[in-house]
Structure 1
């Protein structure tokens, strides 16, 4: 919301010396987000005056139109003689009043003006366009002023070129600040000054003479005010003050009737719409769209309507998308001048609509049709339903005043009953929330400044104003008191930490995982937890893959990513791709975070009160409605794992590195992983490992499938791992340090011949179990296939290390343990000793 300071002063008598930055500081202290304070005309210097064109000579022989003009600028040039000016614009004629800048002046930029020779003539100044004066981006032609201004009049004051504009980022809960009325109320409270409320107007009561309106959906439209003005001069133009206020607020002037509706919307906060009465067929109706209906909106686009769209209709069908944009069939006609008669034709009878619509319905319609508008932006944040009558009256008054119209006596006001909302709040609640003492009088005064009606003593009965639908419970009221008293006055106190509490075992485990991976050379990233079907398609997941079953968001940040992630890989691989695109080719990334797995039975979460702690039953009901959220860790590698240098050639990341990352995670949990070959998207079917802890599959690791790498634009041989930390931790729980023996180790090697289909992990498990407690470690150091191993066979060579904690092992003990290990491997896997 752009707020001109000169306009704000009309409703709040701010101190004369207050600058825009001073006002911005007060508003920020009251909780508004003032992003910038724009200085309009800060580098502008006169003389800049009104001039009357006396003569125009069209110069020929140039590539573009050039006009040599004499302009009467009164006594502004010190001589009273006509000013000689060369100009390239063609939209003005002899007798027109224009804006002239004289030599010695400085235009915004800064752009100093001096007399100069050009096109064979002297140009002592310039006839100005809107863009040259900083009034907007319109550079199509010269500003032509109304005829009533005398030559030599100061144009800087006339056009209000010097001002300060506050640009306020209005949060969704403060929709009333999308108006001068709302911001002025905040400024009045911040300065402790009275407010001149622009909505306090004398409005005639509703009667039976108003334009006929039928509301078929009172839930979608709970108030509809209609007023009619006739006898409007179609040639009447918006006065300069009206145009300038719209321009400073960021709205382009269009025509008088449209400008007035926009002006009142900015002033009061109530969006209005004007219909050409002569083009409305019968009574106005408010209803939902029917199947197959279409409407062409004011932007010229034909839109296919949904049954959820709320419409404004007449006998011919839809004439407007309620609260979003009007239809083209009833729009106000632009004035047209007949060149023969000189008469101006256009809309002379206007129906003004001021209605209140359901915020959710308007927000969904605007989003569905991708049609955000100034009106929808206000309706979806909450508009004061009691402001409709005043806004309609204000628009009628301006049309009568400026366009010479006549207000018809009929007043239409259809209003659904609104229950009075009363909130009981303890007078000392703001004190307890902020940890300071305000007192009942301060609490009462601040709530009244907000617009509330307050009664009571120790317990206050507060009725929020109609423009604050966000005030629903005592803590909302406490926040209003605290923000108006100033967040900077809230004392800063460190909370007292109860003794005997520290990190849980699970939290310590998560930290160990992060430290371990960081120590192994991985860099942690945090990706957004949102994804869509495109991510699953890129990973090559089957349509029936369980990971495609997601939790959908009701109001996603991005329509293309409406779901919560069921795997960490899309975000992690996306970060890897972006880094590679920026020249970082050797990467080892990891992320820990939750995934969201929908439950078989969907439940609706209860709405909990903020006045007390939820009961155990309410917490259980809330948890039952939440998706399962297991915590996982994933890594992604690309490029060189060991860098090249003067010492020699490095080595690239391979599938084994991803498996080693999984072992690093398992080691942090004190768990031994079993690695088995598997096929699982998105990994390469021949380079995919299944990670098992105990009897549970906890994750997968390996090299990504070439099709996935191509679809996601990743480097060749990109590897990844994803493992479920909750499953790993369930198996481990506590980490115990290894027992260190001071006695020597006994090493025994064994080579076994097995079928090619037998996993090496199965052989290793059998050797480990058969060797017993004396086995310290086991390592597969060679895999051989060939004629010597036999057709369909492979040779697996293991190094077994034996050690006791209380003595030196004898050769017989080590041999016996080795033979026991081989015997169990032979029994389980059919292995035979290689000679």
Structure 2
């Protein structure tokens, strides 16, 4: 909403010397956010001039200019620019005559653009200024010729300051009006808010005595509509007023043109400008009809099948059965609250006007405006709610301006159909606002704030009974009233205090561990992503299970993408798509991870079949259990994808390509961060490289896999041949460990280190052999690491030599070499029992 300051000052006392910034600051205090400042960007000297004479001079380029002598100051006086009273000016327009009063911009003036004016030589003359057009002054878009003041109905003395005369010295503030505060779409509403902010005296323009109008049998109107869905009429009030004998050809006065321009509305014609002016002033949309083009009385009704209407924008529109219409005996003449019809529009030939000021159902108007893609200044206001009690006063205000500016007479009485609904009273408990806002407001502050916004306040048991004003349909419950008290008393009264969380309500164990995993991966150089949870059946089946050809999945009823209608059962396709996208943009070394939900329904079971509660009452425990039972399992997984170089090439250091080792390193990092004893075993997966796939276990439970994608799958996704991936079930990890951090403990007693080389079959997994050694060696074995895997000369065919580095330590004494050797041999004995291993000679 744009608010010209001169207009605002008519209804509220602005502080002396107030600037646009001061007014903005005051309105911000009551919650109206500042947007912009608008001015005409014109500076003087700009004066009224009189054309004394001119000579038309044809030019070689085919153009004819006029060399004009223009009086810009009374005889014997100096012009505003310090020059003579008569200036010679070159002008290319030809729509003026000798004796016309015009607007002259003298040297030193600046017009919008900015366009500075100076004496300059052109067409063989020194042009000492410029005769301005409407567009050059910023008052409109017309540029066919210069502005003749007679066309505005203005006759001022030569030398008069034209900036003040035309209202070009005014400025407007622009504020953001939220959907719940539609009353601020008017000068009336903003003036009231400025009064709240500063305590300045507010004069309600809708209650002026001149607008008190007798109501009787005016123009015949009937409301023939009851909206069955909402149970209320599409129009609650319909007021009319008739003005006869107007002169529609009269010009719109400059003060109205400048105010409309600053408010963002183009001047069209006097009669239309008046209706727009009153809409901005009071917030009540107005429509004017050419009374002589109406047939019979007006009926407000819904459209019927096949009905059409040509609106003021020249478009012929096919109407919907829900559209609310203004009709006469010939049919539809307007879309109620949105736009009028072309057949009855006011024109220069109009002499008798029917003024309409109605209150329409916000939902109906909003639907019609969106259905026809026809937003308008009227619909913007009706959508947010218009004061239903100002229709008669608004029609009277339009009639007043038409009589004073366009002549004519007003019929003695106004016609009104309908009665606005009374606002419902709200019970406001004592102490509620202080408990909600956190400020100790006094009873006088609470009552005074509510009365200041126009509410009626009465005492009630244990509190107040508050009836909101008619212009505040957004006030519907006690919390709205509490917000008004806080707003009017001042937001600065609300202390900046951080709430203290009650003990025991911090992060849960699962939340802490999930964050630890994400932080660990990010700290290791990986980037977190968030992928769409929708996949095609092929991706779910390929990556969702190590060996099953078909994976059960939930199909979305109304999928965003027909090629991806299923909820994901794995995170890998999302990571692959993100890697492909980034790789195509030149990021060749990537490490991505995601922590998110996957959906793993049971095969053959239907989900989401439970009946939804009505919403009338809270659902019962049985209903909640049934709803929860209809939700498929949604475990939280973590997925990692790594490609490119783990270590980039640099001087003295060749590049180190990433691979399965990096995926296993990520497993180790997760295990250390969470304290989870993740065991890595040889595994297989239909989407993974054979021999480069590890299965991840905690105890006897498999929680995921790590390794490298099949090279062909990677190439099919436009990725390098080697792509390392990892996916594990975080929920299963949480269930399988107490997450006690045990890594990194440094012993205080000396350790004993020994190596153990075992010859086993090449088919024996190294991890399983190492696990057998660890189990057999007992509690003295602190750490075991595989350091060599030898196959070749000196070994029998089909065998390999696995060398483990062992570290032994006792918590209470220094181990002897014999104790360490005994434990080592116990471990090799168990490996021999399980895998036929023997110590290499």
Shorter-chain TM-score category?
0.7 to 0.9
Tell me how far apart the structure 1 counterparts of residues 801 and 354 of structure 2 sit (CA, whole Å).
93
Query: What pairs with 1:212-361 in structure 2 (closer than 5 Å)?
Result: 212-217=222-227, 219=232, 221-229=234-242, 230-277=244-291, 284-288=298-302, 297-301=311-315, 308-313=322-327, 319-323=333-337, 325-326=338-339, 328-330=341-343, 332=345, 334-335=347-348, 345=349, 347-361=350-364
Structure 1 residues 493 and 147: CA distance shift in structure 2, 3 A: closer
Normalising by the residue count of structure 2, what TM-score does the alignment of the two structures yield?
Answer: 0.76
- 2:383 maps to 380
Structure 1 residues 500 and 453: CA distance shift in structure 2, 3 A: same
Quick check: 241-250 or 170-179, which moved more? 170-179
- 1:204 maps to 214
Tell me how far apart the structure 2 counterparts of residues 246 and 626 of structure 1 sit (CA, whole Å).
59
Structure 1 residues 773 and 123: CA distance shift in structure 2, 3 A: same
Instruction: Give yes or no for the alignment of 1:398 onto 2:398.
Output: no
- 1:18 maps to 18
Query: Following TM superposition, by how much is the alpha carbon of 1:140 offset from its aligned partner in structure 2, in angstroms?
Result: 5.8
- 1:830 maps to none
Instruction: Give yes or no for the alignment of 1:645 onto 2:650.
Output: yes
Instruction: Give yes or no for the alignment of 1:62 onto 2:71.
Output: no
Instruction: Give yes or no for the alignment of 1:744 onto 2:753.
Output: yes
Give the match's secondary structure for 1:424: strand
- 1:342 maps to none
Tell me if the contact between 2:299 and 2:327 (Cα under 8 Å) persists in the aligned partners.
Answer: yes
Tell me how far apart the structure 2 counterparts of residues 302 and 408 of structure 1 sit (CA, whole Å).
34
- 1:113 maps to 117
Give the match's secondary structure for 1:215: coil
Per-residue CA distance 1:679-734 (angstroms, 9 max, x = gap): 68xx99999999887657669997699999999x9999888767664454344452
Q: 2:199 aligns with which of 192, 197, 204?
A: 192
Give the match's secondary structure for 1:57: strand
Tell me how far apart the structure 1 counterparts of residues 787 and 294 of structure 2 sit (CA, whole Å).
87
- 2:190 maps to 183
Give the match's secondary structure for 1:488: helix
Tell me how far apart the structure 2 counterparts of residues 444 and 615 of structure 1 sit (CA, whole Å).
39
Structure 1 residues 562 and 419: CA distance shift in structure 2, 3 A: farther
Structure 1 residues 13 and 417: CA distance shift in structure 2, 3 A: closer
Structure 1 residues 749 and 700: CA distance shift in structure 2, 3 A: closer
Tell me how far apart the structure 1 counterparts of residues 695 and 309 of structure 2 sit (CA, whole Å).
57
Tell me if the contact between 2:44 and 2:105 (Cα under 8 Å) persists in the aligned partners.
Answer: no
- 1:520 maps to 524
Give the match's secondary structure for 1:35: strand
Instruction: Give yes or no for the alignment of 1:148 onto 2:154.
Output: yes
Give the match's secondary structure for 2:252: coil
- 2:45 maps to 46
Tell me how far apart the structure 2 counterparts of residues 617 and 62 of structure 1 sit (CA, whole Å).
90
Tell me if the contact between 2:773 and 2:831 (Cα under 8 Å) persists in the aligned partners.
Answer: yes
Query: Following TM superposition, by how much is the alpha carbon of 1:121 offset from its aligned partner in structure 2, in angstroms?
Result: 1.9
Structure 1 residues 819 and 596: CA distance shift in structure 2, 3 A: closer
Tell me how far apart the structure 2 counterparts of residues 519 and 287 of structure 1 sit (CA, whole Å).
67
Tell me how far apart the structure 1 counterparts of residues 511 and 365 of structure 2 sit (CA, whole Å).
45
Instruction: Give yes or no for the alignment of 1:818 onto 2:831.
Output: yes
Tell me if the contact between 1:70 and 1:82 (Cα under 8 Å) persists in the aligned partners.
Answer: yes
Query: Following TM superposition, by how much is the alpha carbon of 1:377 offset from its aligned partner in structure 2, in angstroms?
Result: 2.6
Tell me if the contact between 2:2 and 2:263 (Cα under 8 Å) persists in the aligned partners.
Answer: yes
Structure 1 unmatched runs, 5+: 336-344, 554-560, 609-613, 755-759, 825-835
Tell me how far apart the structure 1 counterparts of residues 567 and 413 of structure 2 sit (CA, whole Å).
54
Q: 2:820 aligns with which of 808, 825, 832?
A: 808
Per-residue CA distance 1:434-489 (angstroms, 9 max, x = gap): 44333111211111111111111761111111222222222221221122222122
Tell me if the contact between 1:550 and 1:564 (Cα under 8 Å) persists in the aligned partners.
Answer: no
Tell me how far apart the structure 2 counterparts of residues 626 and 23 of structure 1 sit (CA, whole Å).
57
Larger radius of gyration: 2
Tell me if the contact between 2:139 and 2:261 (Cα under 8 Å) persists in the aligned partners.
Answer: yes
Quick check: 380-389 or 459-468, which moved more? 380-389
Tell me if the contact between 2:215 and 2:413 (Cα under 8 Å) persists in the aligned partners.
Answer: no
Query: Following TM superposition, by how much is the alpha carbon of 1:137 offset from its aligned partner in structure 2, in angstroms?
Result: 6.3
Query: What pairs with 1:766-777 in structure 2 (closer than 5 Å)?
Result: 773-774=775-776
Structure 1 residues 615 and 114: CA distance shift in structure 2, 3 A: same
Per-residue CA distance 1:322-351 (angstroms, 9 max, x = gap): 43x32554362554xxxxxxxxx3x44444
Query: Following TM superposition, by how much is the alpha carbon of 1:184 offset from its aligned partner in structure 2, in angstroms?
Result: 0.7
Tell me how far apart the structure 2 counterparts of residues 538 and 130 of structure 1 sit (CA, whole Å).
66
Tell me if the contact between 1:221 and 1:355 (Cα under 8 Å) persists in the aligned partners.
Answer: no
Tell me how far apart the structure 2 counterparts of residues 316 and 717 of structure 1 sit (CA, whole Å).
77
Instruction: Give yes or no for the alignment of 1:436 onto 2:439.
Output: yes
- 2:816 maps to none
Per-residue CA distance 1:169-224 (angstroms, 9 max, x = gap): 12222222121111111111112123111222313336364344433436362424
Query: Following TM superposition, by how much is the alpha carbon of 1:602 offset from its aligned partner in structure 2, in angstroms?
Result: 6.8
Tell me if the contact between 2:535 and 2:567 (Cα under 8 Å) persists in the aligned partners.
Answer: no
Tell me how far apart the structure 2 counterparts of residues 626 and 71 of structure 1 sit (CA, whole Å).
87
Query: What pairs with 1:320-719 in structure 2 (closer than 5 Å)?
Result: 320-323=334-337, 325-326=338-339, 328-330=341-343, 332=345, 334-335=347-348, 345=349, 347-408=350-411, 411-415=414-418, 418-456=421-459, 459-496=463-500, 498=502, 502-524=506-528, 546=553, 549=556, 586-590=589-593, 592=595, 599-601=608-610, 603=612, 633=638, 640-651=645-656, 657=662, 661=666, 664-665=669-670, 668-669=673-674, 670=676, 672=678, 678=685
Per-residue CA distance 1:241-261 (angstroms, 9 max, x = gap): 111111111122222333223
Query: What pairs with 1:24-43 in structure 2 (closer than 5 Å)?
Result: 24-38=24-38, 40-41=40-41
- 1:174 maps to 181
CA RMSD of superposed structures (Å): 5.3
Tell me how far apart the structure 2 counterparts of residues 282 and 705 of structure 1 sit (CA, whole Å).
82
- 1:7 maps to 7
Structure 1 residues 750 and 119: CA distance shift in structure 2, 3 A: farther
Tell me how far apart the structure 1 counterparts of residues 72 and 366 of structure 2 sit (CA, whole Å).
52
Tell me if the contact between 2:305 and 2:321 (Cα under 8 Å) persists in the aligned partners.
Answer: yes
Structure 1 residues 134 and 764: CA distance shift in structure 2, 3 A: farther
Tell me if the contact between 1:654 and 1:703 (Cα under 8 Å) persists in the aligned partners.
Answer: no
Per-residue CA distance 1:87-116 (angstroms, 9 max, x = gap): 234555555543211224343555442222
Tell me how far apart the structure 1 counterparts of residues 609 and 284 of structure 2 sit (CA, whole Å).
46
Per-residue CA distance 1:784-805 (angstroms, 9 max, x = gap): 9xxxx99xxx999977677776
Tell me how far apart the structure 2 counterparts of residues 267 and 98 of structure 1 sit (CA, whole Å).
30
Tell me if the contact between 1:86 and 1:121 (Cα under 8 Å) persists in the aligned partners.
Answer: yes
Tell me how far apart the structure 2 counterparts of residues 359 and 625 of structure 1 sit (CA, whole Å).
41
Query: Following TM superposition, by how much is the alpha carbon of 1:155 offset from its aligned partner in structure 2, in angstroms?
Result: 0.9
Give the match's secondary structure for 1:744: strand
Per-residue CA distance 1:293-343 (angstroms, 9 max, x = gap): 6655444455565555544455666554443x32554362554xxxxxxxx
Per-residue CA distance 1:520-577 (angstroms, 9 max, x = gap): 112456x6x9x79xx8689978999957628999xxxxxxx99999998999899878
Structure 1 residues 564 and 55: CA distance shift in structure 2, 3 A: farther
**Count of paired positions:** 784
